[in-house]
Amino acid sequence: MKLRTSGLVPIPLKDRLSARQSDIWSQSLELEKGRYLSVLAPSGTGKTTLIQSLYGIRRDYEGAIFWGDQNLRTVTEEELAHLRSTQISIIFQDMRLFPDCTAWENLEIKRSLTNTVSPEQVSEWMLQLGIADKKNAPAAQMSYGEQQRLSIIRALLQPFSFLLMDEPFSHLDKRNTRIASGLILSVVQQHNAALLLADLDENDFFPYHQTLQL
Ligand SMILES: Nc1ncnc2c1ncn2[C@@H]1O[C@H](COP(=O)(O)OP(=O)(O)OP(=O)(O)O)[C@@H](O)[C@H]1O
């Protein structure tokens, strides 16, 4: 399966976009399994809009987004749910954890849906990312950096062919970013998945095949 966009333009950004060049807006974009794409964009230029449109959360755009032969605009809720649970995983900029659930519960809600990762593996990843001691803490009581590490692990608890990431390391220091990106890369490689990282500045978190300006 391939991700393909054509003539994509978010309607709220339309007037602003007509005044500047972009590698993605109004163009065609293709991403295949196993490819790593970096999308660079200054604050406020549409990273979150892009990621949420690709994930099917937003539909206020012109043009089209295809996952394989499925046009996101016309897929049914069931087809979209199936795509998200089998093909597309995501790390949201705003994390979207359940604040009153513990760290472990936040992960278990996702993990138990497909049971493709063992609880032991989850514990190991929490240890690796330095949040094992937060297992029983409500997400709302975790620091933003801890919540971000939790939401990174959560994204890895399902089968996927594409991983969408919206500034996934914005609350992390260099060391934690290195550890978290190493974990993400190893799981992406296991799945032979594609990775799309939308971020503010150039970085070497992953060995990209392509870098585009939003
Ligand atoms: N539904 C909407 N209606 C009007 N304007 C919107 C809407 N959604 C986003 N915008 C505007 O579009 C621009 C891009 O927003 P977006 O959140 O995608 O940017 P971003 O690149 O992710 O920014 P940041 O790096 O600061 O998180 C912003 O100026 C925002 O105010």
ipTM score of the complex?
A: 0.92
What's the token pair of residue 164? 């969408």
Residues 118-151 pLDDT 10s: 999 999 999 999 999 999 999 999 999 999 999 9
CA of 49 to the centre of ligand 1 (A): 6
Is the pLDDT reported for residue 184 higher than 90? yes
Number of domains in the chain: 1
CA of 65 to the centre of ligand 1 (A): 19
CA of 145 to the centre of ligand 1 (A): 22
CATH classification at residue 26: 3.40.50.300
In degrees, rounded to 5, the angle at the alpha carbon of residue 88 between the alpha carbons of residues 86 and 94 is 130
- CA atoms of 211 and 94, how far apart (whole Å): 24
Phi first, then psi: what are they for 39, rounded to 5°? -115, 115
Mutate to test the pocket of ligand 1, among 13, 166, 167 (most ligand atoms within 8 A of CB): 13
- Decide whether any atom of ligand 1 lies within 6 Å of the 42 Cβ: no
Q: What is the pLDDT at residue 42?
A: 87
The residue whose C-alpha atom lies closest to atom 31 belonging to ligand 1 is: 44
Question: Do 122 and 156 meet the contact criterion of CB atoms below 8 Å apart?
Answer: no
Range of the domain at 209: 2-213
* Average pLDDT of the segment spanning 194-198: 98
Mutate to test the pocket of ligand 1, among 15, 17, 25, 48 (most ligand atoms within 8 A of CB): 48
Residues 1-26 pLDDT 10s: 999 999 999 999 998 888 788 999 98
Q: What is the pLDDT at residue 133?
A: 98
What's the token pair of residue 114? 């497909």
Residues 99-118 pLDDT 10s: 999 999 999 999 999 999 99
Tokens 């799309």 belong to which residue?
A: 196
Q: What is the pLDDT at residue 19?
A: 78
Mutate to test the pocket of ligand 1, among 9, 14, 49, 53 (most ligand atoms within 8 A of CB): 49
CA of 118 to the centre of ligand 1 (A): 37
Is the pLDDT reported for residue 73 higher than 90? yes
Q: What is the pLDDT at residue 20?
A: 82
Task: Please give the distance of CA 6 from its chain centroid, rounded to a whole number.
Answer: 20
Residues 33-48 pLDDT 10s: 999 999 999 888 899 9
Beta-ladder partners of 165: 91, 197
The residue whose C-alpha atom lies closest to atom 7 belonging to ligand 1 is: 12
CA of 146 to the centre of ligand 1 (A): 25
* Average pLDDT of the segment spanning 169-194: 97
- Decide whether any atom of ligand 1 lies within 6 Å of the 190 Cβ: no
* Average pLDDT of the segment spanning 146-158: 98
Residues 88-98 pLDDT 10s: 999 999 999 99
Q: What is the pLDDT at residue 137?
A: 98
Q: Write a three-state SS string for the chain.
A: CEEEEEEEEEHHHHHHHCCCCCCCCCCEEEEECCCEEEEECCCCCCHHHHHHHHCCCCCCEEEEEEECCEECCCCCHHHHHHHHHHCEEEECCCCCCCCCCEHHHHHHHHHHHHCCCCHHHHHHHHHHCCCHHHCCCEHHHCCHHHHHHHHHHHHCCCCCCEEEEECCCCCCCHHHHHHHHHHHHHHHHHHCCEEEEEECCCCCCCCCCEEEEC
Q: What is the chain's mean pLDDT, rounded?
A: 96
Q: What is the pLDDT at residue 44?
A: 87
